[in-house]
C-alpha cells in the first residue's frame, strides 16, 4: 500500500491503483491519468520497460534453452544408440551360394532386398567422399546434427521448398530404427541419438554403417549390393564417376531407372564433390556418365540358387548353429558340395527323359552323392513352381518326398541276410506263384523267375520276388532289414528324417505297403555300398563365412564309420558282396555303365491300385519307378512317378517300369557326369558263405530278354504276372502269364495300399 502525503499528512488509507517499486513513492500528490493511475516519468517508464524485457528474456531462456537442455541431457542418457555392429547383425542380407569349386551359384535374396555388409576398409574413400559431399557436407565436423541444416529445412517447409536438414548420422538412426514417423518426439529422439552416436563412434564407423544400410534402388541395400546391381563390380573397383551416381541416387532410389533423373543426380553429386575438394576441376570437366548395366542383367547377377538346394542348406545350417532366424543376418557366403557339372547334368537329364512322354502327370527327381565324402553332388527335386489354375505355386521337393522304393529295397534285404553270415550263392525257390501263409507271391513274368534252386545272386539280377519275400519272412525277418537300411544311411522319422520303414508285415521285403523312402535317402544308402561299407553322413555344406570373411562353419573331412559291422573289414566284405549281386542288374535291365567304370544298381517299381472308375489297362499300371545305382565315385537315385497313386502310362497306355524311364534318367546322368573322369573299378572282396552251386544249364525262364530288341526307353507292353482282384487274400487266384517286356527286365508291380502286397519288383 502506498502512503500519500496531503499537506504534510500521510494518508494510509489510500488504495493503490498500480503497484510501484519503492522508488516510486511520491512525497506529493502525483498527476493521474484518465483511469486514475499515476503518470510515470520518462525515467520510470524506461526502467519499467527494461524490467519487462529482462523478465521476458529470463522466461525465453528458461523455456527455449534451459528446459530443452535439461530435457536433451535426460534424453541423451536414456536412449540407446544402435551400434553399427548390432544394426549389421539385424539387417536382412543376401546369402551368397557357391558351387564346390568356389564358382558362383546365385544369391538367396531376402524379401526386403539384397544387402551386403562391408567393413570400413572394404569401402574406398572416393565412395565415402561422394556420399558425404552429396548428403552431408559438414559430416566431418558436425556433432550429429547441423543447426543450419535444420533451420534450412524449416525455412523450406514454410516457403514450400524442398530439401531436408538430416545429417548422415540422423539418416542412419532413422534407417537403423526403422522409424520415420513425422512427429516431434521421433525427431527429438533422433537428434539425441545422433549426437550420442557421434560421441561414441568414430566418423569412419558411422559413414561405413550408413553405407551398409542405405537403399540405392534395384533392390540393393548397402553400397556393396548397389555396386553389383548397377555395375557388376566389387565396391573397391568403383571410380569417382560411378561413386557419384550411386551417391546421387540415395535421394531418389525409386527413380534409378529414369535416365534424366539419374543424370541430374549424378551431376549434383559431382558438383558437390568439387565444392568439397574431393575431385579436381579437370576431373569434373572430363567426367562421363557411367551407364549402369541393364536391369535384366542386374537381376540375373543375383539370381537365386535352385531353391530346393537352398532349402536343404538352410536346414543344415540350423543344425550347425546358424538358426533360420539368423540366416539372413550374417551376410553369409555358403560354399556347397554341389558340383556344377553334376547339377547341370541332373537337370538336363531330368528334363530330357520326360520331354517326349505322353503322360503329363509324370514327375522325376535325381540325387547324386559322393561316397568318399558324403557330399551331395547334384540335387534335383523337380520344378520349383507349378501352375494351378493359372497361378504359380511352390512345388513339392520330390527328391525329399518318401515313396515306395519297390525292388530297390532288396539291397537292404540282402545286407541283412549277409550280416547273418549267409552268402549270395545260397539258394531259394525262385519259381513263380509261391504261397506263404496262405498268400500268393508272384514274380513279374518269366524273366523274373528262376529255378527251385535259385541263388540269391541270380534272384537279385532277375528281381525274383518270391526269393526275397521268402528270405525276409523266414530268415532275416523284418527288423534287421530296417536296421540295415538305417545303417546304410536312410534317415527315418525315428531319427529326424522323412523316410518310413514299416516292420509290421513282410511288405518291407519288396519295398511296398508303409515302407517309403526319399530319393535322397536311397542315394545315401547305396553310397555306403559304393564306399566299401563306410557310412558318411549326407551333407550339402562345405563352408560358411560371414560378412567379415570369418568362418562361421566348416565341414571337416569325414573318415566315416563301418556301417554293417564293428569291424571295418567285415563291413567292407558285406558291402562288396552286395555290389557283386547288383553288378549284373545293369546289363540285365538293358542299361549301360559309362566306359571304363564299374556300375552296380537296382531298379524298382510300385504298382498302381486300380479304382472302380478307371479303364481296364489301369490294372497293369504302375505308380512309382526307380533306378538306384553307383560307381566307386558316385551314387545316384533316380525316381519317376506321380503325386500319389496314379495309373501312369506310356504310349498306347502301356505301363512304365524302373528300367524304362528312371533307368535311362540314371544312365543319362552317369554318362554326362563321368565323361572324361578316370576309370574306376570296385574292390574285390571274398565271398561270404558257400561257393556257387553247379549250374543246371540254361532254361527258358532263366534267360533274360535279349539285348537286340529295340530302344530300352520304349515302355514294355505289359506289367508282368499280376492277377486281377486282391493279390494278397486269394492264394487260389489263377495268374496271368503274359510275355516278358521286350526291352528290360520286367519290374513287377505291387499294390500301394491295402494288405501287404508281394507283387513288387
Residues in the chain: 761
Reference 683, options 531, 456, 568; nearest CA is: 531
- Say which residue the cell 505301363 belongs to: 655
DSSP string over 649-660: --GGGPPP-III
Cell of 373: 565324402
Contact 591, 605 (CB under 8 A): no
Residue/partner pairs of 288-297 with CB below 8 Å, 24 or more apart: 288/241, 289/241, 289/245, 289/263, 290/231, 290/239, 290/241, 290/242, 290/245, 290/266, 292/230, 292/231, 292/245, 292/256, 292/262, 293/230, 293/231, 293/232, 295/218, 295/257, 297/232
Mark whether 407 is an active-site residue: yes
DSSP string over 139-199: TTTSSS--HHHHHHHHHHHHHT-------HHHHHHHHHHT-----HHHHHHHHHHHHHHHH
Cell of 389: 489354375
166, 169, 407, 654: which one is catalytic?
A: 407
Give 257's contacts (C-beta < 8 A, 6+ positions apart).
217, 295
Work out the number of other CB atoms within 10 angstroms of the CB of residue 428.
Answer: 24
Burial of 567 (0-12, 13-18, 19+ CB in 10 A): exposed
Contact 309, 380 (CB under 8 A): no
Reference 748, options 661, 659, 630, 652; nearest CA is: 659
135, 316, 482, 487: which one is catalytic?
A: 135
Strand, coil or helix: 104: strand
* Residue 9 Cα distances to 21, 24, 162, angstroms: 22, 18, 73
Mark whether 135 is an active-site residue: yes
Work out the number of other CB atoms within 10 angstroms of the CB of residue 439.
Answer: 19
Q: How far apart are CA 406 and CA 518, in angstroms?
A: 12
DSSP string over 475-538: II-HHHHHHHHHHHT--BGGGT-SBB---SSGGGGGT-TT-BB-HHHHHHHHHHHHTTTEE---
As a whole number of Å, the end-to-end CA separation of the chain is 121
Cell of 423: 552268402
**Residues that are catalytic:** 135, 407
Amino acid at each position: 500500500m502506498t502512503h500519500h502525503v496531503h499537506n504534510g499528512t500521510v494518508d494510509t488509507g489510500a488504495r493503490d491503483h498500480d503497484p510501484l517499486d519503492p522508488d516510486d513513492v511520491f512525497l506529493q500528490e502525483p498527476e493521474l491519468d484518465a483511469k486514475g493511475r499515476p503518470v510515470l516519468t520518462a525515467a520510470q517508464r524506461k526502467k519499467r520497460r527494461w524490467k519487462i524485457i529482462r523478465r521476458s528474456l529470463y522466461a525465453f531462456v528458461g523455456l527455449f534453452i534451459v528446459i530443452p537442455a535439461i530435457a536433451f541431457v535426460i534424453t541423451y542418457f536414456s536412449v540407446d544408440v544402435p551400434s553399427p555392429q548390432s544394426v549389421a547383425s539385424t539387417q536382412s542380407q543376401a546369402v551368397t551360394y557357391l558351387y564346390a569349386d568356389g564358382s558362383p551359384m546365385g544369391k538367396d535374396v531376402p524379401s526386403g532386398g539384397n544387402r551386403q555388409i562391408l567393413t570400413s576398409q572394404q569401402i574406398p574413400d572416393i565412395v565415402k567422399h561422394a556420399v558425404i559431399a552429396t548428403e552431408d557436407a559438414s559430416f566431418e565436423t558436425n556433432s550429429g546434427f547441423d543447426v543450419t541444416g535444420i533451420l534450412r529445412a524449416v525455412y523450406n517447409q514454410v516457403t514450400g521448398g524442398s530439401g531436408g536438414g538430416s545429417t548422415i548420422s540422423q539418416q542412419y538412426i532413422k534407417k537403423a530404427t526403422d522409424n520415420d514417423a513425422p512427429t516431434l518426439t521421433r525427431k527429438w529422439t533422433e537428434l539425441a541419438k545422433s549426437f550420442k552416436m557421434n560421441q561414441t563412434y568414430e566418423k569412419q564407423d558411422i559413414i561405413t554403417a550408413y553405407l551398409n544400410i542405405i537403399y540405392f534402388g534395384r533392390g540393393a541395400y548397402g553400397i556393396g549390393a548397389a555396386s553389383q546391381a548397377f555395375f557388376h563390380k566389387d565396391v573397391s573397383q568403383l571410380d569417382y564417376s560411378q561413386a557419384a551416381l550411386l551417391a546421387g541416387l540415395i535421394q531418389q532410389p525409386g527413380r534409378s531407372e529414369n535416365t534424366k533423373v539419374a543424370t541430374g543426380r549424378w551431376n549434383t553429386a559431382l558438383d558437390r564433390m568439387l565444392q568439397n575438394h574431393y575431385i579436381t576441376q579437370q576431373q569434373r570437366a572430363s567426367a562421363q556418365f557411367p551407364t549402369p548395366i541393364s536391369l535384366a542383367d542386374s537381376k540375373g547377377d543375383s539370381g537365386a540358387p535352385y531353391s530346393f538346394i537352398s532349402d536343404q542348406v538352410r536346414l543344415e545350417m540350423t543344425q550347425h548353429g546358424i538358426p533360420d532366424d539368423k540366416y539372413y543376418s550374417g551376410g553369409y557366403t555358403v560354399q556347397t558340395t554341389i558340383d556344377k557339372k553334376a547339377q547341370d547334368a541332373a537337370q538336363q537329364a531330368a528334363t530330357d527323359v520326360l520331354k517326349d512322354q505322353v503322360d503329363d502327370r509324370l514327375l522325376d527327381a535325381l540325387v547324386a552323392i559322393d561316397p568318399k565324402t558324403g557330399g551331395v553332388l547334384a540335387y534335383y527335386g523337380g520344378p520349383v513352381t507349378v501352375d494351378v489354375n493359372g497361378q504359380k505355386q511352390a512345388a513339392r521337393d520330390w527328391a525329399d518326398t518318401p515313396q515306395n522304393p519297390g525292388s530297390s529295397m532288396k539291397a537292404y534285404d540282402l545286407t541283412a541276410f549277409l550280416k547273418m553270415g549267409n552268402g549270395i550263392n545260397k539258394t531259394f525257390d525262385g519259381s513263380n506263384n509261391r504261397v506263404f501263409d496262405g498268400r500268393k507271391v508272384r514274380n513279374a513274368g518269366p524273366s523274373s523267375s528262376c529255378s527251385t534252386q535259385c541263388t540269391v545272386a541270380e534272384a537279385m539280377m532277375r528281381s525274383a520276388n518270391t526269393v526275397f519275400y521268402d528270405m525276409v519272412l523266414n530268415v532275416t525277418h523284418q527288423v534287421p532289414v530296417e536296421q540295415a537300411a538305417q545303417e546304410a544311411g536312410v534317415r527315418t522319422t525315428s531319427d529326424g528324417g522323412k523316410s518310413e520303414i514299416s516292420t509290421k508285415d513282410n511288405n518291407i521285403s519288396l519295398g511296398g505297403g508303409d515302407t517309403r523312402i526319399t530319393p535322397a535317402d536311397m542315394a545315401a544308402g547305396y553310397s555306403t555300398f559304393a564306399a566299401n561299407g563306410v557310412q558318411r553322413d549326407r551333407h550339402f555344406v562345405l563352408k560358411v563365412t560371414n560378412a567379415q570373411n570369418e568362418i562361421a562353419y566348416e565341414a571337416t573331412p569325414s573318415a566315416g564309420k563301418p556301417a554293417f559291422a564293428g569291424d571295418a573289414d567285415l563291413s567292407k566284405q558285406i558291402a562288396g558282396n552286395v555290389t557283386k549281386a547288383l553288378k549284373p542288374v545293369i546289363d540285365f535291365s538293358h542299361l549301360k555303365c559309362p566306359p571304363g567304370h564299374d556300375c552296380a544298381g537296382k531298379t524298382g517299381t510300385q504298382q498302381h491300385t486300380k479304382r472302380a472308375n478307371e479303364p481296364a489297362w489301369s490294372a497293369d499300371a504302375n505308380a512309382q519307378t526307380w533306378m538306384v545305382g553307383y560307381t566307386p565315385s558316385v551314387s545316384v537315385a533316380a525316381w519317376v512317378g506321380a503325386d500319389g497313386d496314379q495309373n501312369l502310362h506310356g504310349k498306347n497306355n502301356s505301363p512304365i517300369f524302373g528300367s524304362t524311364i528312371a533307368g535311362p534318367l540314371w544312365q543319362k546322368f552317369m554318362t554326362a557326369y563321368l565323361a572324361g573322369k578316370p576309370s574306376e573299378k570296385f574292390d574285390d572282396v571274398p565271398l561270404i558263405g558257400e561257393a556257387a552251386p553247379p549250374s543246371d544249364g540254361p532254361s527258358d525262364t532263366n534267360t533274360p530278354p535279349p539285348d537286340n530288341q529295340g530302344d530300352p526307353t520304349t515302355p514294355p507292353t505289359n506289367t508282368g504276372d499280376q492277377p486281377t482282384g486282391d493279390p494278397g487274400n486269394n492264394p487260389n487266384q489263377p495268374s496271368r502269364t503274359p510275355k516278358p517286356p521286350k526291352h528290360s527286365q520286367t519290374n513287377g508291380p505291387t499294390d500301394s495300399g491295402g494288405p501287404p502286397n508281394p507283387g513288387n519288383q
